Structure 1
Amino acid sequence: MGIKSFQGQRAEPEKIQSAPILVKDYMCHSLITFSKDDPLIKVIETLMKNKISGAPVVNERNELLGIISDGDCMKQISENRYYNIPIGDRRVEEFMETNVTTIDKNVNIFDCASLFHKHDCRRFPIIENGKLIGQISRKDILCAAMKLRAQNWHC
């Protein structure tokens, strides 16, 4: 008895076509946001209560003005302690980051992952017609990757 070999034509494996997985598939629509006039202490309390690291700052028309993060708050706490100045009535607009990179909801999540690496940020606001419609975070990308792994990646 020997090894039998099939000498016929080999069938090519079937390629499964799937639609790209986009930012809109994993973005968060329900956001905690702040106003530029909110007190910094409110931001700190809200970030802690909701276990988030930052949030968009919007105006009354839901247009993005900036991002306020736990890092912005930490910097202020550190500086105020150094100079022995209470946080008091300090407002979001004094500390928020206004140079914010946004992303389109139709970007592929793999391209979005590359943008996170390139920009070294934790979240991208998503704007449509000038309004904030959502946000995607690094955690959202990780969730998408794990879901894909379960479906497609073979280790």
Structure 2
Amino acid sequence: MGIKSFLAARRNKKKTIGDAPLTVSDYMTRNLVTFKSNQPIEEVINAIIKHRISGGPVVNEKNELIGVISEGDCIKQISESRYYNMPMGNNTVEKYMVQNVETIDGNMNIFDAANKFLDSKRRRFPIIENGKLVGQISQKDILKAALALKGSTWKK
């Protein structure tokens, strides 16, 4: 599989600045909308609109990450189906999902995660523990962390 993981040093003690925690796992989203590889693209589009998300992880029956599907992937499918005059219902997530997914470790420092976002131009990174999808960190989560840290560390 094409999953790449960027691991952070493991520490037993939670790092904080003042009262604010510093790790990705403290700010990641745990309650995710996930998709299956055999799901029709139309269901993904409906879920993206309903939940106001820009995409989500694709998992197998063991909750192992196998890909990511995004708005852009869905738009590509719509464009191709209209161009070739083919119905959308015949296409599944597996055909359009990205399989080469970068992940980051939940113990990574949020500042290192922010740099990872800048270097990669990604909007989100899944977090894997013991081979299972446990959460996702987005650029918006990093912004929330920065605001939480501002109260403890930065001059106002």
Instruction: Report the TM-score range of the alignment, normalised by the length of the smaller protein.
Output: 0.7 to 0.9
Offset, 1:85: 1.8
2:63 paired with 1:68? no
Residues 112-139 of structure 1: CA deviation (Å, up to 9, x unaligned)? 0110111111110000111111111111
Q: Which has the larger radius of gyration?
A: 1
Offset, 1:17: 6.7
- With the length of structure 1 as denominator, give the TM-score of the two structures: 0.85
| Amino acid in the other structure paired with 1:28 | T
Query: What 5-or-longer segments of structure 1 have no aligned partner?
Result: 1-15
For 1:9-48, what aligned pairs fall within 5 Å after superposition?
21-48=22-49
Which protein, 1 or 2, shows the higher relative CO under an 8 Å CA cutoff with sep ≥ 6?
A: 2
- SS in structure 2 opposite 1:56? strand
Moved beyond 4 Å, runs of 4+: 16-20
| Separation in structure 1 between the aligned mates of residue 112 and residue 54 of structure 2, nearest angstrom | 23
Aligned residues: 140
| Separation in structure 2 between the aligned mates of residue 23 and residue 62 of structure 1, nearest angstrom | 20
Residues 100-120 of structure 1: CA deviation (Å, up to 9, x unaligned)? 000000000010011011111
| Amino acid in the other structure paired with 1:146 | L
Identify the residue that residue 11 of structure 2 maps to in structure 1: none
Structure (1/2) with the larger strand percentage: 2
Identify the residue that residue 137 of structure 1 maps to in structure 2: 138
Residues 12-55 of structure 1: CA deviation (Å, up to 9, x unaligned)? xxxx8778600010011111111101110000000000000011
Query: What 5-or-longer segments of structure 2 have no aligned partner?
Result: 1-16
Offset, 1:152: 1.9
| Amino acid in the other structure paired with 2:68 | I
Percent of paired sites with the same residue: 57
CA contact (8 A) 2:37 2:94 kept: yes
| Separation in structure 1 between the aligned mates of residue 67 and residue 94 of structure 2, nearest angstrom | 8
Offset, 1:151: 2.5
- With the length of structure 2 as denominator, give the TM-score of the two structures: 0.85
